Amino acid sequence: MNTPLEKQVDVIVVGAGFAGLYALHKLRAMGRTTQVIEAAGDVGGVWWWNRYPGARCDVESLQYSYSFDTALEQEWQWTERYAAQPEILAYIQHVADRHDLRRDVRFNTRVESARFDPARERWVVRTDAGAVFSGAHLIMASGSLSVPRLPDIPGIQDFKGKVFHTGSWPHEGVDLTGLRVGVVGTGSSGIQAIPQIARQAAQLTVFQRTANFSIPAWNAPLTPQQQQEFKAAYREHRARAREVGTLYEFSAKGALDVDARQREAEYQRRWDKGGVNFVHSFNDLMVNKASNDTISDFVRARIRGIVKDPAVAEDLCPYDHPLGTKRICVDTGYYETYNRPNVKLVNLRKTPIERFTSNAVRTSDAEYEIDVLVCATGYDALTGAVLGIDIQGRGGLTLREKWAHGPRTLLGLMTAGFPNLYIVTGAGSPSVLVNMVVGIEHHIDWITDCLTWLEQWGRTTIEPTVQAQDRWVDHVNAAANATLLPMANSWFLGANIPGKPRVFMPYAAKIGIYRTECQAVADKGYEGFITGGPRAAATKAATTAAAKEVSQ
Ligand code: FAD
Ligand code: N01
């Protein structure tokens, strides 16, 4: 029986960022009726939410863009090497206008629950506005970094000043002129915002728990010639990006294959060019700790060279994780900011925060009065948005129960017991480790190819077998363990969320390898997946497998 007032479509998509919009565009072209549901007031995803001062991409603008619209990639003029948030948002809004996408998006609406109805083989989705939608397929384009996290610091509710999170920054902007501002968090967001805030605020106090490695962006306007040269070879660049993610200058040598002088020269050459390319100076930096020590030492020496007060410089030097094992940061004048007279660094490892009072942050040795608190404290990454929805699959199995000990997927795309539920750039895929627009386009292409295949073969449902999923989870763990990545307490591992299972979530393989693996599965008739017949009741095998998993 249909639920009253249920709007029925072929496919429901949660989220209208890069992923949701491309999904809608493709599904429409395939003739599938599609409903996108988005909590924000417009398209853009993270670029709609993250309006903090200094927000910009760190994959170069010409690469951090869709490849599917080949006319647009020629027409669109990026103004800077790394576009700022307003420009990226304008680009996504332009894509929505150009392809008339907004008419299928329900904005200002949050999906609260999704239940698979096995009798109808449909997902029934309920929103915070009480609306009900059903679709044969449900695509979670809900983002890997879309659930901001405020710090659990005692007394924060007593603080009477304004509190902002970088990931949900007010649209009207925040005038910090003449105010005493505290920033908690020195990841990518904090490192971008701190230099900008320092210019406005009367006094800026940065509360740092973990020092991070940051590389200068050397951001600059893009010249017409730079644009023309890149655009002339766009097809080749896009093809290469599908293999490597971002077009860095990859090295064929290990860091210890050359002498110290050559190593230093290479690090300096790349430092002077700026950006994440620096991390690819040698090919073993992410697998060999001794090699990594050389690049980590180089950056620590640069920090000491930039920051005038030696004690502050030392506090800014990261020692507790190898470079690159936390997401590397890219900055404009970050370390230089600590030479300003109105900026103070508080090292929370030495003097932890004890509590907030109504007008101050109290650490173990001092009280810092502030008017405004900026939390650059990150996200419940990769699984936060998906688990934020009460998702129920076959036999009443909820995703929250199933993933209680960590996410389990096949290819990062689907999970056993949840037929026709697709996750874009989810845990178990390269996701946040690569240029995410490349990963997003790949996932949407794989999902839409899968829908076409199901139709051609008269199948109505698809889901992984538990065995194939288990093998994939082991494979993802092995890929991470072959690198230095698990050595950091990073959000890649869920370490930033108390109580979150510590599982290395992204798949640490080159995206080209991953694409080949995904294609091989499809070429073998979706090997590792169970498909159900035309409107048949759910296959017995799938139900049994899901039930078995709940009982495990
Ligand atoms: P998002 O852009 O996160 O969009 C997901 C949308 O889903 C959101 O708008 C959210 O409101 C909506 N949503 C979630 N849950 C629900 C729900 N229950 N109901 C309704 N709607 C919901 N990646 C790079 O590769 N390069 C970069 O340079 C880069 N820079 C970044 C800078 C910042 C400040 C941040 C935060 C991230 C950056 N990223 C970058 C990563 C970024 O997440 C991806 O590049 C990309 O924008 C993700 O797009 P998406 O559509 O998958 O997800
Ligand atoms: O978040 P983060 P982010 N007390 O989790 C600290 C993308 N992105 O928003 O490390 C004190 O990295 C926390 O300290 P610690 C990119 O993928 C890209 O900066 O847990 N401190 C850390 O310093 C990025 O990686 C860009 O010890 C607390 C910080 O808050 C991802 O988004 C720009 C605390 C959080 O850092 C997330 O970046 C922005 C507490 N209770 C974002 N809780 C580009 O440049 C947390 N912290 C492309």
- 140-186: per-residue pLDDT in tens? 999 999 999 999 899 999 999 999 999 999 999 999 999 999 999 99
Look over the chain and give the mean of its residue pLDDT values, rounded to a whole number: 95
Q: Which two tokens stand for residue 299?
A: 């950056």
Q: Does domain 6-147+381-537 have CATH number 3.40.50.300?
A: no
Sheet of 360-363, strands arranged across? 353-356, 360-363, 367-369
Q: What is the pLDDT of residue 534?
A: 66
Q: How far is residue 82 CA from its own chain's centroid? A: 17
Q: What is the pLDDT of residue 19?
A: 99
Q: Which two tokens stand for residue 266?
A: 């290479």
Strand extents, DSSP E, 230-276:
none
435 lines ligand 1 (CB under 6 A): yes
- Which stretch of DSSP H or E encloses residue 10? strand 6-14
Q: How many CB atoms lie within 10 A of CB 412?
A: 26
Question: Per-residue pLDDT tens for 85-106?
Answer: 999 999 999 999 999 999 999 9
- Which atom of ligand 2 is nearest to 495's Cα? 20
Q: How far is residue 25 CA from its own chain's centroid? A: 22
CA-to-CA dists, residue 17 to 64, 126, 412, 440, 457, angstroms? 13, 20, 19, 10, 31
Q: Which two tokens stand for residue 394?
A: 């076959």
Crossing angle for the helix pair 436-456 and 18-29, nearest 10 degrees? 30
Q: Which two tokens stand for residue 68?
A: 């599917």
Q: Is the pLDDT of residue 541 over 70?
A: no
Q: What is the mean pLDDT of residues 371-389?
A: 98
Question: Per-residue pLDDT tens for 268-324?
Answer: 999 999 999 999 999 999 999 999 999 999 999 999 999 999 999 999 999 999 999
Paired residues of 422 in beta bridges: 139
Ligand nearest to the CA of 380: 2
Ligand nearest to the CA of 385: 1
Question: Per-residue pLDDT tens for 47-81?
Answer: 999 999 999 999 999 999 999 999 999 999 999 99
Ligand 2 pocket test: which of 356, 377, 492 has the largest number of ligand atoms within 8 Å of its C-beta? 377
Q: Which two tokens stand for residue 88?
A: 């990226």
List CB contacts of 68: < 8 A, sequence separation 6 or more.
22, 25, 26, 441
Ligand 2 pocket test: which of 46, 183, 189, 197 has the largest number of ligand atoms within 8 Å of its C-beta? 189
Q: Give 175: exposed, middle or buried? Use CB within 10 Å, 0-12, 13-18, 19+.
A: exposed
CA dist., res. 508 & res. 183, Å (int):
31
46 lines ligand 1 (CB under 6 A): yes
CA-to-CA dists, residue 469 to 251, 320, 430, angstroms? 34, 33, 16
- Which atom of ligand 2 is nearest to 432's Cα? 17
CA dist., res. 332 & res. 418, Å (int):
44
**Amino acid at site 370:** I
List CB contacts of 186: < 8 A, sequence separation 6 or more.
194, 206, 208, 209, 210, 211, 212, 376
Question: Per-residue pLDDT tens for 388-412?
Answer: 999 999 999 999 999 999 999 999 9
Q: What is the pLDDT of residue 543?
A: 47
Q: What is the pLDDT of residue 551?
A: 42
Angle among Cα 304, 308, 313 to the nearest 5 degrees reads: 40
Ligand nearest to the CA of 327: 2
Question: Per-residue pLDDT tens for 216-243?
Answer: 999 999 999 999 999 999 999 999 999 9
Q: Which of 446, 459, 417, 465 is nearest to 511 (CA)?
A: 446
387 lines ligand 1 (CB under 6 A): no
Q: What is the pLDDT of residue 547?
A: 47
Q: What is the pLDDT of residue 545?
A: 53
Ligand 2 pocket test: which of 82, 145, 188, 215 has the largest number of ligand atoms within 8 Å of its C-beta? 188
The region of weakest confidence among 3-7, 198-202, 340-344 is 3-7
Q: What is the mean pLDDT of residues 323-348?
A: 98
pLDDT-derived band at 435 (thresholds 50, 70, 90) equals very high
List CB contacts of 90: < 8 A, sequence separation 6 or more.
none
Q: What is the mean pLDDT of residues 376-395?
A: 97
Percent of the chain with pLDDT over 70: 96
Instruction: Note whether 466 and 551 are within 8 A (CB).
Output: no
Residue corresponding to tokens 């020092």: 211
pTM of the model: 0.96
Residue 68: phi and psi, rounded to 5, are -70, -25
Residue 66: phi and psi, rounded to 5, are -65, 145
Ligand 2 pocket list (CB less than 6 A): 57-58, 145, 151, 153, 166, 184-190, 192, 209-210, 327, 330, 348, 376-379, 432, 491, 496
Strand extents, DSSP E, 225-316:
none
Q: Is the pLDDT of residue 552 over 50?
A: no
CA dist., res. 72 & res. 98, Å (int):
9
Instruction: Note whether 338 and 312 are within 8 A (CB).
Output: yes
CA dist., res. 141 & res. 139, Å (int):
6
* Terminal alpha carbon distance of the chain: 33
Q: Is the pLDDT of residue 542 over 90?
A: no
Q: How far is the CA of 110 from the centre of ligand 1 (A)?
A: 15
pLDDT-derived band at 533 (thresholds 50, 70, 90) equals confident
Paired residues of 184 in beta bridges: 207, 375
Q: How far is the CA of 189 from the centre of ligand 2 (A)?
A: 6
Ligand 2, atom 13: closest residue by C-alpha: 185
Running DSSP on this structure, what letter comes out for residue 505?
-
Number of Cα atoms under 13 Å in the Cβ half of residue 18: 25
Q: Which two tokens stand for residue 192?
A: 């971008």
Q: What is the mean pLDDT of residues 187-211?
A: 98
Q: How far is the CA of 486 from the centre of ligand 2 (A)?
A: 17
Q: What is the mean pLDDT of residues 94-122?
A: 98
Residue corresponding to tokens 């230089």: 336
Instruction: Determine what percent of the chain falls in helix, strand and coil, rounding each to the nearest 5.
Output: 40, 20, 45
Question: Per-residue pLDDT tens for 510-524?
Answer: 999 999 999 999 999
Q: What is the mean pLDDT of residues 380-394?
A: 98
The domain ranges of the chain are: 6-147+381-537, 156-375
Ligand 1 pocket test: which of 146, 400, 421 has the largest number of ligand atoms within 8 Å of its C-beta? 146
Q: What is the pLDDT of residue 4?
A: 56
Instruction: Note whether 384 and 146 are within 8 A (CB).
Output: yes
Residue corresponding to tokens 């097809």: 235
Q: How far is the CA of 149 from the centre of ligand 2 (A)?
A: 10
